[in-house]
């Protein structure tokens, strides 16, 4: 199991991957170091950062199972059976809880309840995400952000609530803006990747929502008609290429990247504004958030 987990942590975006600009453990370490009044020793900060890395890896495994990304070489499932993947995910979750309980200074009862509530919210959001698809009803941009608030933002908020930060207003808004920015960027990138199955499964990401809105206004819903032709059991290569090209031409991808940058700017503005934060770690945190 250790060998399998180590292999997973070498994948794109993970701790041991040399090309990873952002990792959850590094992000967490900088958040835990933000407060000027934080006297937490290095061992505790590193242990809690590792806990977050393992926790996110556990959720990533479940994501890949639900998305059915079996053929994708970067997928968690490429060299594991479903049974192995589920067992590892469950074990990682328990290991992360153990590290948090044993090492987190912030883990009083109320903080621990808050952490669990964030995980519960994200789990319910993941269920909604399974059903958040393009059908006769096309979700709106507001629907999309409501889902991110439930699925993605709680994981960012969890990290901030494990820290000793005291400014509740900033601590509440920064995770929301970071979560919005990251999800927008991921969805804009993933919709163009052949290795991703978002289009095949008709997932209602914002690039697709905006492109469908454009199509309904400009060409009698051509895009939605093409989406209805997709079949997960057939070779859709040419059709998918045409759809991706169309989405790009509508400006929907650019819209999402620009909006991602707007939300990241809001987050960095709040980080730099607080006088209670350690300036060195603020800039390191912003560096990994903006540099990807």
Give the model's pLDDT for residue 155: 94
Give the model's pLDDT for residue 78: 76
Read off the pLDDT band of 9 (50, 70, 90).
very high
Q: Could you read off the pLDDT of 11-68 as tens digits, one per residue?
A: 988 999 988 889 999 999 999 988 876 666 889 899 999 999 999 999 999 888 887 7
- CA dist 126 and 120 (Å) reads 10
Does residue 70 register a pLDDT over 60?
Answer: no
Q: List the chain domain ranges.
A: 2-290
Read off the pLDDT band of 137 (50, 70, 90).
confident
Does residue 278 register a pLDDT over 90?
Answer: no
Read off the pLDDT band of 291 (50, 70, 90).
confident
Is the sign of the CA dihedral 160, 168, 119, 72 positive or negative?
negative
- CA dist 147 and 7 (Å) reads 31
| pTM (whole model) above 0.85 | yes
Give the model's pLDDT for residue 200: 87
Give the model's pLDDT for residue 108: 65
Read off the pLDDT band of 172 (50, 70, 90).
confident
Read off the pLDDT band of 258 (50, 70, 90).
very high
Q: Could you read off the pLDDT of 76-112 as tens digits, one per residue?
A: 677 888 999 999 999 999 999 999 888 876 556 777 7
| Tokens encoding 112 | 């621990």
The residue among 136 and 242 whose pLDDT is bigger is 242
Which residue in 220, 222, 209 sits closest to 252, CA to CA? 209
Question: Which residues 6+ apart lie within 8 Å of 222 measured at CB?
Answer: 215, 246
What percent of the chain clears pLDDT 70, i.e. is strictly above it? 91
Mean pLDDT, rounded, of the chain: 88
Q: What number does CATH give the domain 2-290? A: 1.10.600.10
């Amino acid at each position: 199991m250790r060998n399998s987990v180590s292999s997973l942590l070498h994948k794109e975006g993970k701790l041991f991957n040399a090309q990873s600009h952002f990792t959850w453990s590094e992000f967490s370490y900088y958040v835990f170091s933000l407060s000027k009044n934080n006297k937490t020793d290095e061992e505790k900060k590193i242990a809690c950062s590792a806990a977050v890395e393992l926790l996110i890896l556990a959720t990533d495994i479940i994501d890949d199972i639900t998305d059915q990304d079996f053929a994708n070489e970067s997928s968690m499932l490429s060299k594991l059976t479903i049974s192995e993947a589920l067992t590892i995910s469950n074990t990682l979750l328990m290991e992360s809880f153990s590290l948090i309980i044993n090492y987190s200074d912030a883990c009083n009862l109320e903080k621990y309840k808050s952490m669990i509530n964030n995980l519960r919210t994200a789990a319910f959001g993941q269920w909604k995400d399974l059903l958040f698809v393009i059908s006769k009803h096309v979700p709106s941009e507001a629907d999309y952000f409501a889902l991110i608030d439930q699925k993605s933002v709680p994981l960012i908020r969890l990290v901030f609530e494990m820290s000793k930060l005291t400014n509740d207003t900033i601590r509440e808004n920064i995770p929301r803006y970071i979560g919005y920015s990251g999800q927008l960027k991921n969805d804009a990138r993933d919709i163009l990747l052949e290795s991703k199955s978002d289009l095949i499964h008709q997932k209602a990401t914002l690039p697709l929502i905006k492109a469908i809105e454009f199509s309904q206004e400009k060409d009698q819903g051509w895009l939605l008609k093409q989406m209805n032709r997709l079949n997960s059991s057939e070779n859709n290569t040419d059709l998918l290429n045409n759809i991706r090209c169309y989405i790009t031409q509508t400006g929907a991808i650019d819209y999402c990247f620009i909006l991602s940058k707007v939300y990241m700017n809001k987050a960095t503005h709040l980080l730099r504004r607080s006088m209670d934060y350690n300036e060195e770690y603020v800039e390191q945190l912003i560096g990994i958030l903006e540099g990807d």
